[in-house]
């Protein structure tokens, strides 16, 4: 493949201590892609492995000009490794997958098809028939996916899998940090992306050791709060902090007025008889003031961010001007008919 020509498909695979799996995965991918297109590239990202993963990737680079090695300076985790791979990918369609052979490259055509046919912008893999143990993996995964669907507003069954196909223009609008790679479809949804699930195979790990631990569950819960904030309140943080702040203020002031009225009407020593209630009212007022202040600070930071980065809070699909064929009545009618039939 001519290196000056951008490939049609980029396949991004992050690796961390997967020395044995790298050549095996390469062989499976190349066999699958041989029946699809020769215009593809493999972006293999080494996430600071401590085994021979880098050497295994470099051996493939020497053999195949379609293989690109992105070597990270330190271990950044899966999100950082994927972000590095995405930034170096040149294909119009970008596929991401794990490097532990649990994703079957034979499923690549199924993920590519809906994106190529323009029926979706993101084809997300769905491990419909998981082979993992029910109590330790399947049940927690179902609960977590249900919670993530409710929080993100994206009704898909499998947020956890990395195996997805993206249209490049959508992927370029999503900036990754933390552990947000599993929420890329939800983040892209804010830009009007069309997401479709595609059933994929689930395979057992044959070589190496799994990198997933119980601590990932806690990170996911924190990410859920982040996603909820990013999707609903990123441009209006005062709405996020202001509501509980006002509730605290109303509760604190109301409690204080109640105590003042009782003192005036019934007498008695409020500080002695209702000391805990008085302290509670003071704490509510302080908490309310702080939350409202956080919201105002967030509003100012949001304003500075959007103005300094020149970033808009909307995503433009097309710009139609006078004389553009798309502005003609025939094109407009055809668009409406197409939308109706779809």
Q: What is the CATH number of the domain that holds 68?
A: 3.90.550.10
Domain assignment present for residue 336? The answer is no
Q: For the residues 170-188, what does the mean pLDDT come to?
A: 80
161 and 50 in a common domain: yes
pLDDT at 190: 77
> Poorest-confidence range of 163-167, 195-199, 215-219?
215-219
Q: Does the pLDDT value for residue 303 go beyond 80?
A: no
Are 91 and 216 contained in the same domain? yes
Task: Assign residue 263 a region (left: φ > 0; alpha: ψ between -120 and 50; beta: otherwise).
Answer: alpha
Same domain, 127 and 21: yes
Note whether residue 204 is domain-resident. Answer: yes
216 domain-assigned? yes
CA 236 from centre of chain: 20
Query: Which pLDDT value is given to residue 321?
Result: 45
Q: Is the pLDDT of residue 147 over 70?
A: yes
Domain C-terminal end among 232, 252, 270: 232
Q: Are residues 94 and 215 in the same domain?
A: yes
Domain match, 220 and 280 both? no
pLDDT of residue 218: 59
Mean pLDDT score across all residues of the chain: 80
Q: Tell me: do 219 and 153 sit in the same domain.
A: yes
Same domain, 273 and 145: no
C-alpha angle 99/105/109, rounded to 5°? Answer: 140
Residue 99 shares a structural domain with residue 29: yes
- Residue 330 belongs to a domain: no
Phi, psi at residue 10, to the nearest 5°?
-115, 130
291 found inside a domain: yes
If asked whether residues 241 and 228 sit together in one domain, one would say no
Query: Do 102 and 204 fall within a single domain?
Result: yes
State yes or no: pLDDT of 80 exceeds 50. Answer: yes
The tokens describing 331, both together, are 């094109």
Q: Is 105 or 139 the better-scoring residue by pLDDT?
A: 105
Q: Could you tell me the CA-to-CA distances from 67 to 32, 55, 59 in Å, in that order?
A: 15, 13, 10
Of 199, 232, 265, the residue at which a domain comes to its end is 232
Number of other residues whose CB lies within 10 A of the CB of residue 89 = 27
Evaluate the CA torsion angle 86, 90, 93, 97 in order and state its sign. negative
State how far the Cα of 158 lies from the Cα of 164, in Å rounded to an integer: 11
More confident residue, 9 or 102: 9
pLDDT at residue 12, as a whole number: 96
The values of phi and psi at residue 197, to 5°, are -90, 140
- What are 106-115's pLDDT values in tens digits? 999 999 999 9
Domain region containing 215: 9-232
Asked if residue 336 has pLDDT above 80, the reply is no
**Domain match, 64 and 204 both:** yes
What pLDDT shows up at residue 185?
Answer: 87
Residue 324 resides in a domain: no
Return the pLDDT at 189: 84
pTM of the model: 0.70
Q: Is residue 170's pLDDT more than 60?
A: yes
Give how many domains the chain has, as a whole number. 2
pLDDT at residue 334 is higher than 70? no
pLDDT at 210 over 70: no
- Are residues 59 and 162 part of one domain? yes
Sign of the C-alpha dihedral computed for residues 164, 169, 172 and 173 taken in this order: negative
Say if residue 205's pLDDT is above 90. Answer: no
Confidence of residue 322 (pLDDT cuts 50, 70, 90): very low
| 3 falls within a domain | no
Question: Can you tell me the mean pLDDT for 296-321?
Answer: 60
Query: Which residue has better confidence, 162 or 326?
Result: 162
Distance of alpha carbon 2 from alpha carbon 180, whole angstroms: 34
* Final residue before a domain boundary, out of 232, 252, 271: 232
Residue 334: inside a domain: no
């Amino acid at each position: 493949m001519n290196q000056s020509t951008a490939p049609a498909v980029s396949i991004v695979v992050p690796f961390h201590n997967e020395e044995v799996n790298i050549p095996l995965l390469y062989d499976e991918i190349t066999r699958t892609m041989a029946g699809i297109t020769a215009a593809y590239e493999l972006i293999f990202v080494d996430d600071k492995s401590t085994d021979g993963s880098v050497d295994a990737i470099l051996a493939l680079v020497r053999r195949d000009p379609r293989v690109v090695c992105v070597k990270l300076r330190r271990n950044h985790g899966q999100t950082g490794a994927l972000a590095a791979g995405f930034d170096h990918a040149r294909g119009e369609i970008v596929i991401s997958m794990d490097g532990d052979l649990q994703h079957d490259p034979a499923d690549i055509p199924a993920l590519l098809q809906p994106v190529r046919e323009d029926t979706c912008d993101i084809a997300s893999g769905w491990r419909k028939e998981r082979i993992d143990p029910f109590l330790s993996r399947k049940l927690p995964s179902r609960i977590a996916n249900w919670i993530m669907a409710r929080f993100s507003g994206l009704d898909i069954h499998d947020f956890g899998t990395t195996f997805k196909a993206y249209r490049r223009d959508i992927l370029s609008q999503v900036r990754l940090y933390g552990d947000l790679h599993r929420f890329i479809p939800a983040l892209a949804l804010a830009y009007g992306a069309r997401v479709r699930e595609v059933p994929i195979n689930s395979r057992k790990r044959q070589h190496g050791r799994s990198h997933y631990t119980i601590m990932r569950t806690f990170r996911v819960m924190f990410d859920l709060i982040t996603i909820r904030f990013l999707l609903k309140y990123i441009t209006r943080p005062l709405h996020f902090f202001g509501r509980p702040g006002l509730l605290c203020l109303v509760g604190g002031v109301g409690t204080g007025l109640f105590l003042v009225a009782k003192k005036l009407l019934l007498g008695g020593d409020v500080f002695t008889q209702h000391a805990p209630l008085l302290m509670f009212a003071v704490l509510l007022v302080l908490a309310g003031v702080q939350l409202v202040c956080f919201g105002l600070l967030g509003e100012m930071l949001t304003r500075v961010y959007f103005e300094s980065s020149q970033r808009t809070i909307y995503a433009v699909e097309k710009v139609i001007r006078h004389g553009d064929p798309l502005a003609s009545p025939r094109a407009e009618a055809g668009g409406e008919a197409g939308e109706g039939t779809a």
